[in-house]
């Protein structure tokens, strides 16, 4: 009898302990690092800030995302972000497809010149089967992708002359990001591309060591690129850079299912908010740039096609590296948009 009572007491104590421990576990607070290249002065940084706000609000402060802008978690070298995140030095990121493309070749799809003529084309890729296939490729590399954001179309500026045809780029010294595909594109157009960080690019533009650069309009505007001699801007829409909300795989697996869903939905909502805001503000951004005396060139359909034709050989080289089937699937999605 005594043994039975002891067993019941032990069982009751264990059950009571479990009951007391459960709410304590549910209320555990956790903080995660979030890497982003640009601060919240730019749409890119605003996407990360919005994600952090939504997660904090929906978890009632239990989950905190601490945003580290300017790629400071990798000492400013944004091309190291993916590797640092995969190794666990970074928990999460709102990242550029360009910066992650060396580790995930499929992301070079977005850097193919003149693949996406408009925003509907971007959506056709990211919001369809092609986007799911790209997310699967990122997943296989050790990062859990959650949602898409947008850094916008990258436009071309320079200090020398108006550019409305491929021949105008001959010999032009252009700063580009650290991607071999970018080098191939500009070399094919006859330019002299130079890879360098944005921190190095600004003084190089000021001194005339380089003639031009390519960036989204939001970056041109907020960074006041017109103040470093960039008085000619061509809206050529040669490539767009979607953003990716991602989480380190080990961090992701450590979270209960309800927190995974909270993080994912907050990322989806933050991405949708940032995409809508960025697109809505484009007209005002362009007006502000023009008001500062920048000469803006908008290509005719014929001028645009000349650039498409001039970069056709880049596709021949890069489609097999990206995945010919993936490239064709993206083209079909764009054609059907």
Per-residue confidence in pLDDT tens, the chain, 337 aa: 433 334 434 443 343 343 333 333 445 899 999 999 999 999 999 999 999 999 999 999 999 999 999 999 999 889 899 999 999 999 999 999 999 999 999 999 999 999 999 999 999 999 999 999 999 999 999 999 999 999 999 999 999 999 999 999 999 999 998 899 999 999 999 999 999 888 889 999 999 999 999 999 999 999 999 999 999 999 999 999 999 999 999 999 999 999 999 999 999 999 999 999 999 999 999 999 999 999 999 999 999 999 999 999 999 999 999 999 999 999 999 999 9
Distance CA 67, CA 83 (A): 18
Structure tokens at 257: 């299912």
Tell me how far the alpha carbon of residue 226 is from its chain's centroid: 24
Distance CA 86, CA 88 (A): 5
| β-strand partners of 65 | 32
| pLDDT for residue 9 | 40
User: CA separation (Å) from 7 to 1, 11, 20, 110, 208?
Assistant: 10, 6, 20, 65, 84
| β-strand partners of 42 | none
Domain coordinates in residue numbering, the chain: 29-335
| pLDDT for residue 35 | 98
- Closest Cα partner for 160 from 79, 233, 243, 72? 233
Strands 63-68 and 143-158: unpaired
* Other C-beta atoms lying within 10 Å of the C-beta of residue 276: 11
| pLDDT for residue 19 | 37
Torsion angle in degrees (nearest 10) through CA of 216, 222, 224, 230: 10
* Other C-beta atoms lying within 10 Å of the C-beta of residue 141: 15
User: CA separation (Å) from 232 to 191, 205, 289, 292?
Assistant: 16, 13, 11, 12
Cα angle 128, 131, 132; round to 5:
90
| pLDDT for residue 27 | 58
Who contacts 325 (Cβ-Cβ below 8 Å, separation ≥6)? none
- The CATH number of the structural domain formed by 29-335 is 3.40.190.170
């Amino acid at each position: 009898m005594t043994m039975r009572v002891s067993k019941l007491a032990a069982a009751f104590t264990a059950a009571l302990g479990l009951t007391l421990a459960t709410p304590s576990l549910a209320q555990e607070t956790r903080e995660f690092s979030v890497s982003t290249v640009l601060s919240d002065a730019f749409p890119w940084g605003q996407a990360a800030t919005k994600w952090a706000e939504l997660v904090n609000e929906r978890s009632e402060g239990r989950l905190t995302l601490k945003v580290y802008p300017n790629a400071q978690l990798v000492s400013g070298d944004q091309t190291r972000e993916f590797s640092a995140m995969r190794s666990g030095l970074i928990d999460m990121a709102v990242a550029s497809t360009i910066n992650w493309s060396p580790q995930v070749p499929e992301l070079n799809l977005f850097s193919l010149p003149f693949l996406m003529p408009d925003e509907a084309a971007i959506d056709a890729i990211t919001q369809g089967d092609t986007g799911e296939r790209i997310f699967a490729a990122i997943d296989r590399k050790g990062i859990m992708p959650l949602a898409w954001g947008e850094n916008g179309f990258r436009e071309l500026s320079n200090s020398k002359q108006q550019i409305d045809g491929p021949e105008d780029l001959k010999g032009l010294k252009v700063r580009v990001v650290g991607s071999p595909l970018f080098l191939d594109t500009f070399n094919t157009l006859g330019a002299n591309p130079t890879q360098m960080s944005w921190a190095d690019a600004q003084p190089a533009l000021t001194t005339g060591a380089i003639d031009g650069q390519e960036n989204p309009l939001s970056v041109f505007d907020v960074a006041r690129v017109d103040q470093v001699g960039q008085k000619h801007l061509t809206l050529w829409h040669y490539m767009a850079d979607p953003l990716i909300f991602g989480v380190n795989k080990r961090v992701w697996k450590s979270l209960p299912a309800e927190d995974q869903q909270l993080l994912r939905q907050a990322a989806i909502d933050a991405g949708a908010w940032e995409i809508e805001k960025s697109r809505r503000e484009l007209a005002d951004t362009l007006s502000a740039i023009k008001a500062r005396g920048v000469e803006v060139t908008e290509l005719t359909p014929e001028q645009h096609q000349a650039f498409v034709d001039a970069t056709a050989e880049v596709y021949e080289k890069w489609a097999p590296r990206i995945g010919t089937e993936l490239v064709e699937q993206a083209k079909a999605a764009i054609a059907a948009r």
